[in-house]
Amino acid sequence: MKKNLSLVFILTVFLAFLIAMTYFSQRMERKNRIPLSIYVPCGMTLPFKELGMAFEGAHRNIKVEAAFDNTVILTKLILKKEKRPDLFISPGEKEIGMLTREGLLDEHSIKAFGRYELILIAPANSKVSSIEDLFKNPVKIIAIANPDYNSVGEYAVMALKKLGYWDKLQKTNSVMFTNTPIEALSFIAANKADAGIHYNVCPFETDSGKVSQGAIKIVAQLPAGSYPQIYNYIGILNGTKNNKIAQSFIDFMFSPKGQEVLSRYGLAGNLKQLNQPSSGQVAAKVLIQAYFPFNEEHLYIKDYLETLPQKFNGLVKVECVDFRSDEGYVLWRKTGLSCGGILINGKNKFSINKDGKEKEVEFLKKIDLFWTKDELEQAVKQELGK
């Protein structure tokens, strides 16, 4: 009997020792895991929390540290070099393009995933039932995320111009630009705005908690031909010490398991490179970057420039930066421009043939006073001819 009790005691002590060793081993394993830092738009909280856990399950030595916030804040942190994550996720080309131009992202690492469509939204109790209703008297405020810093706002303005609605809205409605897309949604949900344009998935499916349930209704989908195909992008920051791990995360996203997670949120598919032409489209060869205070005095310059992509059959891409904002001011100062001006493929000065004579043109200050549309388009043609 005593022998049996001794054996039980020994087994109990041994099991307790194994449990303790397992506990401390797992604790040390967790403590020694390599952190992988990812900046994620807050509207994609649900899929990337789940994706992070799935990645950790397949890579026991890695700890995914995702920071969820609005993309304007995340982009600003990186641009000001206050923070430097391993990976950055962008809900469109605007935000990731700002980082790429500053040389902060590895361009070869950038991949696209998921597709978005633009939708017209309104408060749930609104009588707005079509895009045409935007021009009726009850519609006074249309909330759109600022197109200078938000992809969804940029695509929204692009679509409204393509559809021929923008000039009418400028005259008959008060288009309110918000700092972030969530802010625009909040105004609509609280009946402080009569309508708005947003993505069809983010955050309605990817973080439904961001929007008051039942407070917003989807009125209509904007015609697909009125704006480019919209993708999310993920890229690796230059200089990260976790380059291989970051690439492993991207590879995992496009693995069957990663795609299974993303598909539940409408974000699966598409290994498209940034700036790779979509089906039937042509890749842009000339990048025009305009840096001005886009107030009423200079807005006509922006309106003109935004006609050029269509005029040059998609071979030209235009980016307008308002340097009245903090982010815009930082970007403008880095160009070396002394005042408002335009860069064409990174250059400000061009030699133009005018009336059989060579003329040097500097695209600074106001159009028609210091340079002309014809001179700008000649410079564009020079770049296209290279």
Q: What is the pLDDT of residues 194-236, one digit of tens each?
A: 999 999 876 665 555 556 657 888 888 898 788 888 889 999 9
Query: What integer pLDDT is reported at residue 212 of this predicted model?
Result: 60
One domain, residues 163 and 312: no
Query: What integer pLDDT is reported at residue 277 of this predicted model?
Result: 38
Rounded average pLDDT over 74-98: 89
Give me 271's structure tokens: 């290994």
Rounded average pLDDT over 307-327: 82
One domain, residues 42 and 4: no
Phi, psi at 322, each rounded to 5°:
-90, 110
Q: What sections of 119-190 are H helices per DSSP?
A: 151-162, 166-172, 181-189
Please report whether residue 42 resides in a domain. yes
One domain, residues 380 and 290: yes
Beta-strand ranges (E) seen in the chain are 34-41, 62-69, 87-90, 111-116, 118-123, 141-145, 174-178, 195-199, 216-221, 230-236, 286-292, 316-322, 341-344, 349-354, 357-362
3-state SS of the chain: helix, strand, coil percent to 5? 40, 25, 35
Instruction: Give the model's confidence band at 326: pLDDT under 50 very low, under 70 low, under 90 confident, else very high.
Output: confident
Residue that wins the pLDDT comparison between 114 and 52: 52
Please report whether residue 273 resides in a domain. no
Please report whether residue 270 resides in a domain. no
Domain boundary among 221, 252, 274: 221
One domain, residues 252 and 111: yes
N- to C-terminal Cα separation, the chain: 96
Residue span of the structural domain in which 143 resides: 124-221
Residue range 241-292, pLDDT digits in tens: 999 999 999 999 988 899 888 888 888 765 444 444 343 344 568 899 999 9
One domain, residues 22 and 78: no
Query: What integer pLDDT is reported at residue 26 of this predicted model?
Result: 53
Please report whether residue 271 resides in a domain. no
Q: Is 316 helix (H, G, I), strand (E, B) or coil?
A: strand
Query: What integer pLDDT is reported at residue 236 of this predicted model?
Result: 95
Q: What is the CATH number of the domain that holds 49?
A: 3.40.190.10
Please report whether residue 281 resides in a domain. no
> Which run of H or E residues covers position 12?
helix 2-31
One domain, residues 85 and 97: yes
Position 347, amino acid: K
One domain, residues 293 and 367: yes
Query: What integer pLDDT is reported at residue 338 of this predicted model?
Result: 81
- According to DSSP, the residues that pair with 118 across neighbouring strands are 199
Instruction: Give the model's confidence band at 31: pLDDT under 50 very low, under 70 low, under 90 confident, else very high.
Output: low
Query: What integer pLDDT is reported at residue 197 of this predicted model?
Result: 94
One domain, residues 11 and 72: no
Q: Which of the 8 DSSP states describes residue 118?
A: E
Residue 2 has pLDDT above 70, yes or no: no
One domain, residues 77 and 90: yes
Residue 91 has pLDDT above 50, yes or no: yes
Q: What sections of 254-298 are H helices per DSSP?
A: 256-263
One domain, residues 198 and 254: no
Neighbours of 50 (CB within 10 A): 14
Q: What is the mean pLDDT of the chain?
A: 83
Please report whether residue 316 resides in a domain. yes
Residue that wins the pLDDT comparison between 299 and 26: 299
Lowest mean pLDDT segment, chosen from 74-78, 218-222, 297-301: 297-301
Q: What is the CATH number of the domain that holds 337?
A: 3.40.30
Query: What integer pLDDT is reported at residue 223 of this predicted model?
Result: 87
Instruction: Give the model's confidence band at 135: pLDDT under 50 very low, under 70 low, under 90 confident, else very high.
Output: confident
- According to DSSP, the residues that pair with 123 across neighbouring strands are 216
Residue 176 has pLDDT above 70, yes or no: yes
Please report whether residue 108 resides in a domain. yes
One domain, residues 62 and 205: no
Instruction: Give the model's confidence band at 21: pLDDT under 50 very low, under 70 low, under 90 confident, else very high.
Output: low
Query: What integer pLDDT is reported at residue 33 of this predicted model?
Result: 85
Query: What integer pLDDT is reported at residue 22 of this predicted model?
Result: 58
Number of compact structural domains in the chain: 4
Please report whether residue 70 resides in a domain. yes
Query: What integer pLDDT is reported at residue 203 of this predicted model?
Result: 63
One domain, residues 355 and 293: yes
CA distances from 372 to 36, 247, 336 (A): 50, 46, 22
Distance CA 215, CA 235 (A): 34
Rounded average pLDDT over 185-197: 91
Residue 16 has pLDDT above 80, yes or no: no
